[in-house]
Chains A and B, each alone.
Chain A
Amino acid sequence: MSVAAELATRWAGRAGTIAFVLVALALGRVVGDQVPSPIDSYARPHEVVASQGRPVQLRAATITVDGVTVSRSFQTSSSLYESPGIFVLADVTFTPTLEDSALGHVEIVDRQGRSFTVTRTGGNTCPLTAPGLPTRCSVVLELPPDALPGATLRLGTDGTDTAYQDLAVVDLGLDAQDAQLAADAEPLEPREPLLEEGG
């Protein structure tokens, strides 16, 4: 075999190796992009699914959704709010575990994935609470009637950014019929945990 032919074979082999490495890298990248990022899965909120009336143990607090009512209007100590949609009130019992905490994340997610939060003053009566102290309070959210069926309430203690939080996820048990019931219902009255009565 001539020297030129020998060199050509060697270079061809080398080019093959290079091509193989490049293809392997490209393939690795494509596969890597398809796999969910490990950061995303660490940061995803940890959902604890529960039913109404059942205490949910989160890292910072124990939360129970005691009951759910709906109405077109809701009454605070200072104002009466009316809605073209539906107000959903959830009575909540909330007991922090080791440190003071508040119900920082309150959200309803409907079947379509739409997210609703507290929009009215007085819509979250759960105050900053001491550890071990059960606080009976309420949250009120405003939804369009078509969001009621299958909507879930999501409650957490750490604020609106849910990354790394654990959340209590409770099915509200509402359906299209509740939208009609709400039209004739009395105004909702949130529970107030502090009782203003002297000594």
Chain B
Amino acid sequence: MTGWWRRNRWALLALPFVLLLAAGAGSYRVWNFWNPYELTDPVAGRSGEPVRFTHTLEDDRGSYTVDLTVTAADPVPADHFTDQEGMMHYFPRSEGSRVWRTDLTVQADPASPLTGCQVRLVDGLGRATLYRTSPLGGEASLGLPGSPCVPPGAPGPSPDFGFGLEEPAATRPATYTVPVYVRTAQDFVPESIEIWWETPWHLSIDVDADAEADAGEEG
């Protein structure tokens, strides 16, 4: 047997390095198949302070740039929302849940396409809940916009994905405030709000939620 070890000694010496090299060569999968699809590249900020976010994306006409400055308020509990017509709707209640409202004040060039953002709340345990209208229930899926970063009445330009959508008539104001409602578990206290158009780049704003605030109050 010593003969075999002796004959293969160089290969045996090289083996640990070869194994390391093989693992390293496979590590591209983390970068190619995981990293780009998760929120791994944040622009950080704090509630009450404006944060600038610019992100160049592609549509059918080429590239366009999302460019905005966001100031997030601290999340407060909410029991209702007001739709575009000014009608007030209560959120249906469900045992063990509550709805948080986080106001985002946005400053942006009215020509910058800002539609199609996604927003989620993250708590101290790493739990994350997306802004979606259907879990809010009741009138929310009809009365709230599918994407919350632009005012529903004047969303401004959209990226062109070849759907032939007409540009909306109303010009988006240069500064506006939109509420973001998210239904979470009762014991979920948001610690940050994350906003993105395309992963992995995103805004991550630390917030100081006020769980004791009056849910009925209009922000």
Contacts and interface: CB of A to CB of B under 8 A. Distances in A.
B95 A130 contact: no
Pick from A97, A130, A136, A195 the residue with the most CB of B within 10 Å.
A130
A94 to B, nearest CB: 12
A90 B80 CA distance: 32
A100 B130 contact: yes
A127 B141 CA distance: 13
Contact of B185 (A128, A132, A199): A132
Interface string A143-169: 000000000000000000000000000
A198 B88 CA distance: 11
Nearest to A97: B127
Contacts of A97: 127
A133 B123 CA distance: 13
B129 interface: yes
B130 to A, nearest CB: 6
B90 A198 contact: yes
B62 interface: no
Contacts of B97: 130, 133
Contacts of A131: 127-129, 184-185, 188
B183 interface: yes
B55 interface: no
A133 to B, nearest CB: 4
Interface residues of A, number: 21
A194 B138 contact: yes
Contact of B184 (A127, A133, A134): A133
A199 B188 contact: no
A199 B184 contact: no
Contact of B90 (A129, A132, A199): A199
Interface in A169-199: 193-199
B171 to A, nearest CB: 34
A100 B183 CA distance: 10
Contacts of A133: 94, 96-97, 183-186, 188
Given A128-B135, A130-B188, A131-B188, A195 B128 contact: no
Contacts of B96: 133-134
A79 B50 CA distance: 51
Contacts of B92: 194-197
A98 interface: yes
A2 to B, nearest CB: 37
A195 B129 contact: no
Contacts of B186: 133
B93 interface: yes
Interface in B78-95: 79-80, 90, 92-95
Interface in A107-145: 127-136
Given A130-B182, A199-B90, 15 more contacts: A99-B128, A100-B128, A100-B132, A100-B135, A129-B135, A130-B129, A131-B185, A133-B94, A133-B184, A134-B95, A194-B92, A194-B137, A197-B92, A198-B90, A199-B79
10 A-B pairs with the lowest CB-CB distances in the bound complex, closest first:
A132-B185, A131-B127, A198-B90, A133-B185, A194-B137, A130-B129, A194-B92, A199-B90, A130-B184, A196-B92
